């Protein structure tokens, strides 16, 4: 990935692009020239910093965003309950900022592929830069359906390069066939169910939808049933952060009340 990270004594994290070699902070200027990731470094004021590789989670929290992105609790469950694994072909809509895309791409690995549809070119371009920096799309890789060439100055040498980006409204149809999993984070997935039925692999095809409103879930499940999908199940996940202090251990007072409902189903054979 095109990122490295500094962490100060307060555990404040500074995500840096690889080519950045100097950082000004309120704890002084840190010069990274001739320093290796994995070292302790000091600012000109003598303050200590960890110089490390960021995790995908560190990157996610600081990625450029155009839309509300999925949270790790939901992403993790989509992958685990959806049974998404190495080598699978996943089709996703919409790309948004590419946060879910990045985890799907890592789940399917080098042998797999994520084909991601986005109807708004301006969102797809921001997502492309995020995915480029993570080594998931190649330098100068086009976005299918977008009449624009890219001349990237970023090159990530080691990456999965397994994401294909497309501009398109997935409600109008899915060209691809033999897809293992379709993941829809968009407002009206019931409009996609018939296309999904044709596009999914009959042996193992699954569809997963993520929706904020229960009315949307009802409409989606009704459509899935109508089209013969089976093993249909909807979930909501609640996350509680636990605070550990001298006084005791307890859940944090504040929490995220609601994100979305996740529905899973399998494609019918006939």
For ligand SAM, which residue of 13, 81, 85, 120 counts as binding (CB under 6 A)? 120
82 vs 98 by CB, closer to ligand SAM: 98
Binding mask 128-167 for ligand SAM (x = CB under 6 A): ----------------------------------------
Tell me which of 8, 74, 180, 185 binds ligand SAM, using CB under 6 A: 185
Q: In whole angstroms, what is the distance from residue 7 CA to residue 30 CA? A: 11
For residue 156, the minimal CB distance to ligand SAM (Å) is 20
CB of 9 to ligand SAM, least distance (A): 32
Backbone angles phi, psi at 141, to 5 degrees: -65, 130
From 62-70, 81-89, 157-165, 196-204, span contacting ligand SAM (CB under 6 A): 62-70
Restricted to residues 74-113, the positions that interact with ligand SAM (CB under 6 A) are: 93-94, 96-100
Q: 121-133 and 99-108 are packed helices; what angle lies between their axes, rounded to 10 degrees?
A: 50
Supply 117's token pair.
């549809």
- Which residue has its beta carbon closest to ligand SAM? 94
> Least separation, in Å, of the C-beta of 118 and ligand SAM?
5
For residue 249, CA distances in Å to 238, 245, 254 come to 19, 6, 15
Rounded Cα–Cα distance for residues 31 and 240 (Å): 38
Q: What span, in angstroms and rounded, lies between the C-alpha atoms of 160 and 158?
A: 7
Q: How far is the CB of 129 from ligand SAM (least distance, A)?
A: 13
Instruction: Please check whether residue 59 is in contact with residue 68, taking contact to mean a CB–CB distance below 8 angstroms.
Output: no
Size of the site for ligand SAM (CB under 6 A): 21
The residue from 74, 88, 118, 180 that contacts ligand SAM (CB under 6 A) is 118
Q: What is the DSSP letter of 140?
A: T
Inter-axis angle of helices 72-81 and 99-108, to 10 degrees? 30
CB closer to ligand SAM out of 98 and 112: 98
b/e map 243-255, b = 16+ CB within 10 Å: eeeeeeeeeeeee
Chosen residue from 4, 113, 119, 133 binding ligand SAM by CB under 6 A: 119
Q: 3-state DSSP call for residue 57?
A: helix
Quote the least distance from Cβ 40 to ligand SAM, whole Å.
34
What residue ranges bind ligand SAM (CB under 6 A)? 67-70, 93-94, 96-100, 117-120, 123, 169-171, 185-186
């Amino acid at each position: 990935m095109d990122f490295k990270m500094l962490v100060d004594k307060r555990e404040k994290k500074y995500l840096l692009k690889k080519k950045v070699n100097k950082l000004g902070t309120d704890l002084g200027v840190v010069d990274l020239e001739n320093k290796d990731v994995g070292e302790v470094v000091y600012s000109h004021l003598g303050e200590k910093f960890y110089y490390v590789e960021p995790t995908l989670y560190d990157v996610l929290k600081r990625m450029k965003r155009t839309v509300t992105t999925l949270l790790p609790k939901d992403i993790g469950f989509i992958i685990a309950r959806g049974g998404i694994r190495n080598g699978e072909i996943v089709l996703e809509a919409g790309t948004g900022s590419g946060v879910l895309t990045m985890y799907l791409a890592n789940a399917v690995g080098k042998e797999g592929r994520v084909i991601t549809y986005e109807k708004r070119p301006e969102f797809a371009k921001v997502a492309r830069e995020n995915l480029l920096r993570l080594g998931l799309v190649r330098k100068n890789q086009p976005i299918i359906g977008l009449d624009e060439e890219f001349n990237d100055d970023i090159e990530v040498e080691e990456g999965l390069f397994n994401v294909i980006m497309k501009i398109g409204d997935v409600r109008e149809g899915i060209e691809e066939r033999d897809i293992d999993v379709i993941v829809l984070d968009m407002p009206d997935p019931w409009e996609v169910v018939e296309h999904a039925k044709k596009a999914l692999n009959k042996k193992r095809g699954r569809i997963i939808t993520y929706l904020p409103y229960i009315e949307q879930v009802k409409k989606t499940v009704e459509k899935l049933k109508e089209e013969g999908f089976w093993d249909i199940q909807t979930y909501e996940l609640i996350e509680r952060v636990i605070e550990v202090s001298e006084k005791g251990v307890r859940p944090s007072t504040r929490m995220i009340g609601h994100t979305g409902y996740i529905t899973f189903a399998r494609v019918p054979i006939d």
